[in-house]
Amino acid sequence: MKEDRHISTIDVDVPASRPAALPVVTFTDSLTLHWNNEEVQVIHVPAAHTDGDCLVYFRKANVLHMGDTWFNGMYPFIDENAGGSLSGIVQACDLALTLVDEETRIIPGHGPIADMAQLKEYREMLAAVLDSVRALKEQGKTREEVIAAEPTKKYDSNFGQSWLKADTWVGLVYDCMN
């Protein structure tokens, strides 16, 4: 946040944040706050959308905010330049699923408020695409060949109708795999 950076995937320059926008409280793994009789758990999820994502769980209210680890109803943007990866987003979903129940209201970083069933559907799609792209890459397929194989085809009608189209997203997934 302190330095200018360029997101090459979408060709966007992001200026450094003003000093007043920088965090005053930092942590490594997790942090628990108590505010208005509410316990708020903040849990770092490494290498998801970026390397600085967190889940924020309001225990008493039974509300989970997933930030940019969940783009509800669309393919997620993975900022590889900032340490993001699809496997990290899957792991963030796995962690979220250990915190929620059928009554939990889940706030995504993008899209409408949702529930546990929708989160499970999203997680299953992510894992299936990750496995498919990984398998194609391990077969020696190039980025273009993996995109042409349409590993997201069965999900495109549900997740590929936003600004991040299937071909671009598959390319992102391919690029962020080591």
Q: Does domain 5-175 have CATH number 3.60.15.10?
A: yes
* Blockwise average pLDDT, block size 10, the chain, 178 residues: 78 86 88 95 93 95 97 93 91 98 97 97 97 97 97 96 92 87
Q: What is the pLDDT of residue 24?
A: 85
Q: What is the pLDDT of residue 7?
A: 77
Q: What is the pLDDT of residue 81?
A: 82
CB 49 within 8 Å of CB 77: yes
What are the boundaries of each domain within the chain? 5-175
Q: What is the pLDDT of residue 178?
A: 65
| Residue in 164, 158, 154 with CA at minimum distance from that of residue 129 | 154
Three-state DSSP state, 131: helix
CB 2 within 8 Å of CB 19: no
| Residue in 142, 139, 173, 176 with CA at minimum distance from that of residue 155 | 173
Cα distance between residue 64 and residue 82, in whole Å: 24
pTM: 0.88
